[in-house]
Amino acid sequence: MRISDQQVADLRNYEVNNAYDQLIQAQNTLSSGRQINAPSDNPAGTGTALSLQDELAQNTAFTATANDSQSWMQTTTNALNGVNDTLLSIRTLGVQGANGTLTADERTALANQVGQLIQQGVQAANATYNGQYVLSGQKTLTIPFTTTTSGGLTSVAYQGDSAPITRELSPGLVSQIGIPGSNALPAVFSAMSQLQSDLLGGDSAMISGDLATIDKAQGGLLLAQTSAGAITNRVTAVQGSLQNQNTTLTAQWSGIVDANFAQASVTFNERLSTYQASLTAAGKVVQSSLMDFLK
Amino acid sequence: MTATFSGVNTALRGLEAEQIAMNVSGQNTANASTPGYSRQMVDLQTTDPISDPALGAAGPGQMGTGVQVASITRAHDSFVQQQVIYQNGQQSQLQTQSDTLANISQIFNEPNSTAGFGTLLSNFFTAWQGLANNPTDPSQQAVVAQRGADLAGGLNGASGSLQKMQEQNNAEIGGFVTQINTLTGQIATLNQQIAEVTAVGQQPNDLKDKQDNLVNQLSQVVGVQATYQANGTVNVSLAGSGTLVQGIQSHQLTTVPDAVQPQFTAVAFQGQPGQISVNGGSLGGAITARDQTLGGQLTTLNTLAANIASAVNNLQSTGYGSNGATGINFFVGTSAATLALNPVIAADNTNIAASSAPNEPGDGSLATKISQLQETPAAGQPTTLQDQYNAMITQLGVNGQQAQTNLTTGTLVLQQLTNQQESVSSVSLNEEASNLMRYQQAYDAATHVMSIMDQTISDMINQLGG
């Protein structure tokens, strides 16, 4: 093949440019720390990375839901525990009141104490999380329990509904979070009010009967507490798995998008050598021609 | 019997021919780095022998009379030149295509887990999940409204950027048409000069080089086909769309409003009705980028925007806001450019429906359904909104990669063709030096022949006369 000087010059430019271009690409990977800087760098990898980004965003959202649900359940559990505490105190007063030797004044005093404890229990049951009542079912803006007092008798009415709060804890899985106050609590408060009424009435037998009612109501309350505990445990488990998932997803995304520095450095050095070699060759190639030998 | 001085004449012709050959070598050497220069070669021929039978009959046969330069031709491969013209057109279009796709990619900034365009979509759904957790919380309502406005704003912005790029491509068309008209005018003028030179039987070498240069330049602006005529002139036509140069006549192009998209420019022949389709070159590249690459991207983006609006609105309008309002759409507008947060919601965030039933402030089930659009496709849509977005970006990547590969391949082909062309046409200084040595030696020899003849003749005259 005939070789012209222009050809040699063009080839020299092309090879040096090419080596330089490759070197710059390797440098971009190193300095940006990413092997995919644009979708065209790796379309399939970009598709996977985008799906992982969506999953990561969902993971973040579900983690927020789980944390929120955890707090909600914490408030619910505290409220139920508070009601349980007052129920136990009231039961102690009931045991005292069942003693036939008490005077009417002493029983009235006990009934007053019961009334105060009922108020205390209602206050515990009306707990709020982030401005919402946790025991009103879905009527979260309605105070769940209200008291009316007439003739020394305290009665409690439930204002909420029986629909439980639900949350989407994991994709597609909508779970019940929270215990509606209609569940167990009206029985508890009505047992309390009954005892108060019978203390004022003074019939020891009736008071003893009320203790049985209180025990039964407490059984219901215990069930509610147990299911609250179960929900809390489930939420905790979800939090754990979301945490694991987040770590895995982040690692996968990084594996696709981020540069492998060891590999990128090796590539960069290889290309640097190639570039230097092409520069050396370009500098040395045909510096002289036959013209130099014409005399 | 031959004439006494005919040998001197023969030697003189040798001197003259070698002189011309050295001049041509000088021209080649001087143009060793001139772009588009084709090296020239002297075509040496023997002059006509003495053929008068009366003169030759007595001798041994026809007597040679020396040498002459029959023609000076240029080294040129017109087959490769045709391929270069085609490849130039492809290359400019591929370059525009590749650049356009790279610019589109930048709008979406993917993959990026914190600042990509896709985060607007995922943030939007995350906000709905937050609202589902606290359906009456004003701050969660505000977040949903803000993320909705952000998403709509992002789509508006992307659509605006794509339209801006379309306009930029469109604005270049007029300039390209002017360039084409200038070049075709010059080619036609050159055709006339070339025809005049060939008519008198000479080789218009440098004019032909200039012609090649002009056709090459033209082929970078628009895809053309060149047909070379026997008299050295070239006819140039747009592939399938009419003639630009026919002999000494050039047909001017002009711009007209596009028939389908009147806001854009189309190309037409001056004085002829109807626009023409143009392929290849920077002009074809600009039109393809405007109508197909950017236009197609806008269509995809508009579909995505319409799907987002309908998916969210279909659910939203069935729910109840914390103020009890129902039947209110979340988004207004149905294209990427017009999508916006419903002003009714922007004015009062409590209109955002999070509940499936009225007066159930703790019911966030509708908000949950909207956030579930992340996982489940909306009714009537084959895939989820995010999968639609991801597919759009992946396709963009595939197209971008393909354009880059085509561009790289095209560059290699052009490089190869240029190499072939230079192998034939470009000057080699070694070759010129070698030729010069040859010519110089022949010249020297011819002077020696002449001096020996001079000596011989003068000896004869002196001795016979003495």
Instruction: State the CATH number of the domain containing residue A180.
Output: 1.20.1330.10
> Is A217 contained in some domain?
yes
C-alpha closest to that of B245 among B206, B207, B189? B189
Instruction: Yes or no: say if B170 and B367 are a contact pair by the CB < 8 Å rule.
Output: no
> Is A198 contained in some domain?
yes
- Give me B177's structure tokens: 């048409």
Instruction: Yes or no: say if B44 and B70 are a contact pair by the CB < 8 Å rule.
Output: yes
> Is A262 contained in some domain?
no
Domain ranges of chain B: 6-75+427-465, 83-175+198-221+277-413
Yes or no, beta carbons of B430 and A167 under 8 Å apart = no
pLDDT band, very low/low/confident/very high, at A289 (cuts 50, 70, 90): confident
Residues of chain B positioned with their CB less than 8 A from the CB of A44:
394
> Is A126 contained in some domain?
yes
Nearest chain A residue to B404 by CA distance is: A40
pLDDT digits (tens, 9 = 90+) for B88-127: 999 999 999 999 999 999 999 988 888 889 999 999 999 9
Q: Report pLDDT for B2.
A: 63
Residues of chain B positioned with their CB less than 8 A from the CB of A255:
none
Yes or no, beta carbons of B32 and A5 under 8 Å apart = yes
> Is A236 contained in some domain?
yes
Residues of chain A positioned with their CB less than 8 A from the CB of B356:
none
- Give me B379's structure tokens: 């009714």
Yes or no, beta carbons of B393 and A46 under 8 Å apart = yes
- Nearest CB to B390 within list A41, A51, A56: A51
Q: Report pLDDT for A295.
A: 65
Nearest CA-CA distance, residue B276 and chain A, Å: 33
C-alpha closest to that of B306 among B351, B344, B337? B337
Q: Is the ipTM of this complex over 0.85?
A: no
Q: Report pLDDT for B52.
A: 64
Number of domains in chain A: 1
Alpha-carbon Rg for chain A, nearest whole angstrom, is 39
Yes or no, beta carbons of B106 and A50 under 8 Å apart = no
Angle between helices B205-221 and B281-288 (to 10 degrees): 0
pLDDT digits (tens, 9 = 90+) for A104-150: 899 999 999 999 999 999 999 999 998 899 999 989 999 999 999 98
- Nearest CB to A140 within list B132, B361, B426: B361
Yes or no, beta carbons of A172 and B376 under 8 Å apart = yes
Nearest CA-CA distance, residue B35 and chain A, Å: 9
> Is A152 contained in some domain?
yes
Across residues B289-316, what is the average pLDDT?
96
Q: Report pLDDT for B375.
A: 86
Instruction: Yes or no: say if A136 and A112 are a contact pair by the CB < 8 Å rule.
Output: no
> Is A38 contained in some domain?
no
CB pairs under 8 A between A and B: 210
Residue range(s) defining the domain that contains residue A83? 63-251
**Residues 6+ positions from A209 with CB-CB distance below 8 Å:** A198
Yes or no, beta carbons of A290 and B105 under 8 Å apart = no
**Residues 6+ positions from B343 with CB-CB distance below 8 Å:** B332
When mean pLDDT is compared across A164-173, A279-288, B31-40, the lowest value belongs to: A279-288
pLDDT digits (tens, 9 = 90+) for B423-441: 999 999 899 999 999 999 9
> Is A284 contained in some domain?
no
Neighbours of B331 (CB within 10 A): 25
**Residues 6+ positions from A249 with CB-CB distance below 8 Å:** A52, A55, A56, A59
